[in-house]
């Protein structure tokens, strides 16, 4: 995991200035008054200010005593100068109880106190001990000397800027999720417009403590509700517990996400074995006697993450993903001059690769599982390959395609009728093999796990092999963080390794519809998450049956680091056209320049498009007819990288976040 520094808390640097006085070369003179020659004096007083635009806090000490909490801290302004005259501070303590973290509104558990403001707490005191150093005494009737708790401090108000919220103490194992797991999607939550973004807290080292900050209010214990449905001030602070926010609010993403994949969020072991305890009742009925028996029969030391993974079939999926691999050969011509490729499937056991006989284990019947014949799909395609890009489908799934199962278990696909228009391209192959398995079906009714293989290419003129290389601008787990179930969006594609399996169909030379939202892989992904395609999938509908935006829409679209962990180099994008839809008119001859296609997927208003077109960008250019042209050999005129490459005056990183 990466260390997340949102706003490093500056440390107070106490600068001591010594003054030395020189006597005569002879005997020392008589002692003088303090500060006079020959007598040490106090020296100059360090400077202080009474205003700040930034307030930095250094924790010195805190003490939990019966009925009160005492905190000592020092504050400086944006220039590191000590601040005097602080009158405003607030502190919250959510206590660790047998039920977990809890803070009630009536003060019966935990507590809070405020100095300054409109309603200061009775008995509170905030005293400056010396320049910039303060003591904050906060009365809390329910607090005892042995109380452990989650403590959050904030200081400042008026002319002194408010500091960030700071978690100054937190019991061990307060929560099993982490800032890193939450920030896989909620990158830099504090900069978003999502509710309560201003409450994101830091720890005393200046690092974001996202979950700890949330739990100060969203405790493990909910606020009590009266019989008439009204909220009481007893129990916990908020109606929604932290675990309910995690479990319920994260249940219904659009595609291939399962909440029972607990490892997505829970980085630490989850040891709860009590059905009525924190978290279980959010999803399981407390009347579930069957589940009670499961829990009572299970060791008190079991990890609930493993329990759910095994129960749902996720463990089996993970084992299968690690237990097989697919390969396909560089395209070759058979004795009749027909282009072919040969695919193979291997079962893995450590370093040992055992061939799986595709023909003997193939069945295309998806109506039931086939433990003895697990292969439910085996398909191959040939592609044009030019300038490190797939530029179209050269051959595949034709009516005269010839499939041959070989004695060694491999399968050869030959294509007597390839497409025209690829004379300038190298030829490469992709193959996809899908295996059925027990214990899993997703909401699309698919019951298979897919393995995609890409071959190197061959130069048609020289017959030399050309390494298949494709620029990958996302991290390996970019997709699987959210699409975590290992099922497949459609047609048995897979999300692993940044969705590279999808490129066999969603590439620069094949404009897959994506609800007519965008061409190519990158533009399609941008659009389907945050652009015009966001609400077009039809996965979510309102009461009137109208499509509504998917879950990604509520996240910060400019937080590109969610997928692009190492930035985006606009200069590295090949300067060649990609296929484009012609605004739903069915015309397949239109092309788009690549950076414009990606940017327009989100920045799709007329003003943005006008800017792109003025700088050479195109989204609907006539550059060839079907597959019989040389469109992929032609450079575009877009000059986006001139101004928007990283480090430039209007670099992409100045408007999109690529750092955690």
Nearest to 273 by CA among 307, 296, 241, 306: 296
Q: What is the pLDDT of residue 505?
A: 87
Rounded distance, CA 467 to CA 463, Å? 13
Assess contact for 293 and 275: CB atoms under 8 A. Answer: no
Q: What is the pLDDT of residue 442?
A: 53
CA distances from 180 to 100, 176, 189, 208 (A): 22, 12, 12, 9
CB proximity list for 610: less than 8 A, separation 6 or greater: none
Give residue 618's pLDDT.
Answer: 92
Confidence check: pLDDT of 379 > 60: yes
- Give residue-wise pLDDT tens across range 288-345: 545 554 555 455 567 888 888 888 788 888 888 899 999 999 999 999 999 999 999 9
Please, what sign has the CA dihedral across residues 434, 435, 438, 439? negative
Tokens of 105: 């509104």
Q: Distance between CA atoms of 30 and 640, rounded to whole angstroms?
A: 78
Percent of the chain predicted with pLDDT > 90: 50
pLDDT for 59: 96
What's the pLDDT score for residue 7?
38
Q: Rounded distance, CA 436 to CA 320, Å?
A: 10
SS3 per-residue string spanning 610-660: HHHHHCCCCCCEECCCCCCCCHHHCCCCCCHHHHHCCCCCCCHHHCCCCCC
Lowest mean per-residue pLDDT among 84-88, 97-101, 298-302, 510-514: 298-302
Residue 367 CA to chain centroid, in angstroms?
A: 36
Tens-digit pLDDT profile for residues 422-468: 999 999 999 999 888 775 555 556 667 889 999 999 999 999 999 99
Tell me the three-class secondary structure of 449-464, residue by residue: EEEEEECCEECCCCCC
Residue 92 in this model has a pLDDT that exceeds 70: yes
pLDDT at residue 441 in the model: 56
> How high is the pLDDT of residue 156?
97
Q: In the chain, what is the straight-line distance between the N-terminal and C-terminal CA atoms, in Å?
A: 10
pLDDT band per the 50, 70, 90 thresholds, residue 517? low
**304 touches 277 (CB < 8 A):** no
Give residues with Cβ within 8 angstroms of 187, minimum separation 6: 555, 556, 559, 561, 562, 657, 660
What is the structure's pLDDT at 32?
46
CA–CA separation, 582 and 577 (whole Å): 14
Which helix (H) or strand (E) element contains residue 512?
A: none
pLDDT band at 116 (very low <50, low <70, confident <90, very high): very high
Residue reference for tokens 């991290």: 475
User: Which pairing describes strands 111-115 and 82-83: parallel, antiparallel, or unpaired?
Assistant: unpaired
Looking at the DSSP assignment, which residues form a beta bridge with residue 151?
Answer: 93, 169
In angstroms, rounded to a whole number, what is the distance separating the alpha carbons of residues 254 and 551? 7
Instruction: Give the C-alpha separation, 200 to 214, whole Å.
Output: 7
DSSP letter string, 260-317: T-GGGTB-S------TTSTTHHHHS-TT-HHHHHHHHHS-TT--HHHHHHHHHTHHHH
pLDDT of residue 374 exceeding 90? no
SS3 213: helix
Confidence of residue 364 (pLDDT cuts 50, 70, 90): confident
pLDDT attached to residue 115: 97
Cα-based torsion angle of the residue sequence 432, 453, 256, 517 in order, rounded to the nearest 10 degrees: -90
DSSP for 551-586 reads GGGGS-TT-GGGT-TT---GGGS--S-EE---TTS-
Nearest to 152 by CA among 192, 200, 223: 200
Question: What is the distance between the alpha carbons of residues 53 and 186, in angstroms, rounded to a whole number?
Answer: 27
At 518-544, the pLDDT tens digits run 568 888 889 888 888 888 766 678 888
Is 584's pLDDT higher than 70? Answer: no
Strand-strand pairing, 411-415 and 426-436:
unpaired
d(CA 287, CA 385): 60
Give the dihedral sign, CA 632/634/640/646. Answer: positive
């Amino acid at each position: 995991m990466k260390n997340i520094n949102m706003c490093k808390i500056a440390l107070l640097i106490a600068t001591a200035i010594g003054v030395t006085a020189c006597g005569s070369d002879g005997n020392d003179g008589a002692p003088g008054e303090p500060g006079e020659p020959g007598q040490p004096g106090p020296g100059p007083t360090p400077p202080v200010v009474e205003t700040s635009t930034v307030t930095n806090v250094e924790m010195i000490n805190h003490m939990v005593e019966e009925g009160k909490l005492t905190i000592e801290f020092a504050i400086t302004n944006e220039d590191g100068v000590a601040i005097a005259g602080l009158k405003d501070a607030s502190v919250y303590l959510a206590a660790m109880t047998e039920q977990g973290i809890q803070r009630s509104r009536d003060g019966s558990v935990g507590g809070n106190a405020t100095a300054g403001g409109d309603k200061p707490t009775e008995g509170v005191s905030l005293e400056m001990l010396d320049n910039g150093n303060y003591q904050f005494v906060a009365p809390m009737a329910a607090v005892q000397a042995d109380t452990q708790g989650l403590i959050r401090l904030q200081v400042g108000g008026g002319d002194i800027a408010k500091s960030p919220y700071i978690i100054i103490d937190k019991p061990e194992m307060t929560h099993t999720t982490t800032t890193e797991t939450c920030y896989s999607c909620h990158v830099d939550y504090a900069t978003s417009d999502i509710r309560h973004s201003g409450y994101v807290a830091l720890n005393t080292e200046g690092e974001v403590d996202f979950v700890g900050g949330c739990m100060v209010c969203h405790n493990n214990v909910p606020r009590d509700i009266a019989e008439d449905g009204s909220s009481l001030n007893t129990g916990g602070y908020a109606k929604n517990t932290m675990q309910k926010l995690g479990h319920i609010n994260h249940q219904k993403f659009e595609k291939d996400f399962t909440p029972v994949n607990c490892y997505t969020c829970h980085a630490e072991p989850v040891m709860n074995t009590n059905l009525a305890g924190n978290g279980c009742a959010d999803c399981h009925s407390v009347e579930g006697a069957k589940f009670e028996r499961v829990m009572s029969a299970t060791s008190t030391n079991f990890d609930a993450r493993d329990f759910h993974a095994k129960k749902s079939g996720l463990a089996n999926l993970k084992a299968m993903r690690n237990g097989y691999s697919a390969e396909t050969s560089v395209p070759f011509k058979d004795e009749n001059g027909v282009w072919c490729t040969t695919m193979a499937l291997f079962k893995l056991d450590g370093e040992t690769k055992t061939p799986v006989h595709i023909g003997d284990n193939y069945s295309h019947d998806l109506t039931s599982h086939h433990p003895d014949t697990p292969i439910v799909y085996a398909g191959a395609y040939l592609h044009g390959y030019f300038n490190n890009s797939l530029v179209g489908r050269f051959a595949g799934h034709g009516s005269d395609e010839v499939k041959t199962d070989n004695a060694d278990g491999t399968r050869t696909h030959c294509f007597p009728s390839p497409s025209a228009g690829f004379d300038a391209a190298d030829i490469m192959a992709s193959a996809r093999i899908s295996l059925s398995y027990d214990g899993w079906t997703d909401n699309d009714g698919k019951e298979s796990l897919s393995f995609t293989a890409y071959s190197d290419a061959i130069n048609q003129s020289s017959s030399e092999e050309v390494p298949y290389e494709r620029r990958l601008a996302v991290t390996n787990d970019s997709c699987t963080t959210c699409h975590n179930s290992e099922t497949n969006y459609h047609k048995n594609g897979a999300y692993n390794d940044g969705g590279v399996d999808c490129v066999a169909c969603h590439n620069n030379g094949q404009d897959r519809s994506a609800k007519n939202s965008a061409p190519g892989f990158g533009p399609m992904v941008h659009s389907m998450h945050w652009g015009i395609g966001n609400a077009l999938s039809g996965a979510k509908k309102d009461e009137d049956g109208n499509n509504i935006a998917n879950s990604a829409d509520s996240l910060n679209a400019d937080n590109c680091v969610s997928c692009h962990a190492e930035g985006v180099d606009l200069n590295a994008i090949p300067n060649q056209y990609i296929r484009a839809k012609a605004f739903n008119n069915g015309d397949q001859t239109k092309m788009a320049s690549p950076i414009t296609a990606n940017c327009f997927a989100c920045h799709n208003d007329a003003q943005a498009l006008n800017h792109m077109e003025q700088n050479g960008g195109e989204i609907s250019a006539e550059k060839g007819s079907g597959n019989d042209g040389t469109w992929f050999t032609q450079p575009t005129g877009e000059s986006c990288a001139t101004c928007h490459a990283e480090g430039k005056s209007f670099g992409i990183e100045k408007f999109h976040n690529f750092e955690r």
